[in-house]
Amino acid sequence: ELGLIYDVMINEDNDVKIVMTLTSPNCPVAETLPQEVEEKVKSIDTVKSCEVEITFDPPWSKDLMSEEAKLELGML
């Protein structure tokens, strides 16, 4: 909903790779959020492995958020 996940790739062996961003390089959850995403995906029974890659290209903007997230956060 926040537009942080850019891509999710799953191969035939159920290895998962997630390309995501953060709101900024200095995001307060920069150390914990990618690890939390990886752990949550790994907890799915059919997932063999998970790798999370952080990118800042393209940079995150609130335009990437869903309408529902914007509404909930009072941005509409």
Q: pLDDT tens digits for 8-61?
A: 999 999 999 999 999 998 989 998 999 999 999 999 999 999 999 999 999 999
In the predicted structure, residue 5 carries a pLDDT above the cut 90: yes
CATH number for the domain spanning 17: value is 3.30.300.130
User: pLDDT at position 76, please?
Assistant: 82
Q: How many domains does the chain have?
A: 1
- Region 63-70: mean pLDDT is 93
How large is the greatest C-alpha to C-alpha distance in the chain, in angstroms? 42
Domain that includes residue 18, residue range:
5-72
- Dig out the tokens for 29 from the structure: 């959850």
Per 3-state DSSP, the chain is made up of helix, strand and coil in percentages (nearest 5) of 25, 25, 50
User: pLDDT at position 41, please?
Assistant: 97
Per-residue confidence at 75, pLDDT binned at 50, 70, 90?
confident
- Structure pTM? 0.87
